[in-house]
Amino acid sequence: MILYTSHLDTFARNQFPMQYFPSHNKHANLYLILLMMCTFGIMLSVLRVVATGSTMFLFLNWNLFLAIIPFMVTRFVVYKKAIIDKRLFLVVLVFWLLFFPNSPYILTDLFHLKKSTSMPLWYDLILVLSYAWAALVFGFMSLSDIQKMSASYFSKRLTTIGIIIVLFVASFGVYLGRYLRWNSWDIVASPFRLLGDIGDRFMHPIEHPRTWGMTLVLGCFLNLAYFSLQAIRKERIN
């Protein structure tokens, strides 16, 4: 295992500039694994096109790109030390939150699974799961960055409560994207219609059981998933 890790470090140093791996390349293995995860999903989607001639799941590549945006935002802020004060942090947080729901959103692309005569169902399942897992990892890493940055401005308890709330807000965002077909940029393109749909669900919650059912259940799942990974990481450190 030690020899394998050493090879990963060597490969990463040779392939990528030093500035992508701050603190003496301590994140080289992580970025390489993320690259491998994305490559695996893309290869599965391309092989499916070659085998069937269908472009059915190619949209997952765009969804994955959107899911990576929050990660890019927080990594830029962390490593460029762009955060100056709490007000600027809150601006970054709002911008980040607009795109963060794209990370767990790919989980709902499992809805597209169906029996096909051209490809086995198990293949399509692994294809979608590979994208969903990669997107979720990118999202959780960006959320971890937000958690670390928040610790500089708020107490640990308040930060934890904020993370829990953010995951429920993201679940609500996933609902808006999946069922109402809203996108992150619609807050600028169609703000009044978007706010109208959101306001209607808050003013008449009983009339929208699917909205709050999905938000609650998915929010609980995301919280359990995120904090379980955090617990595993702390266990390994200790």
Which has the closest alpha carbon to 103: 81, 83, 74?
74
Residue 2: is its pLDDT beyond 60?
no
Where in the chain are the domains? 2-237
pLDDT at 6: 46
Q: What is the pLDDT of residues 10-59, one digit of tens each?
A: 444 444 343 433 444 567 788 899 999 999 999 999 999 999 998 989 99
Q: What is the pLDDT of residues 128-161, one digit of tens each?
A: 999 999 999 999 999 999 998 888 888 999 999 9
Residue 9: is its pLDDT beyond 60?
no
Q: What is the pLDDT of residues 211-234, one digit of tens each?
A: 999 999 999 999 999 999 999 888
pLDDT at 30: 83
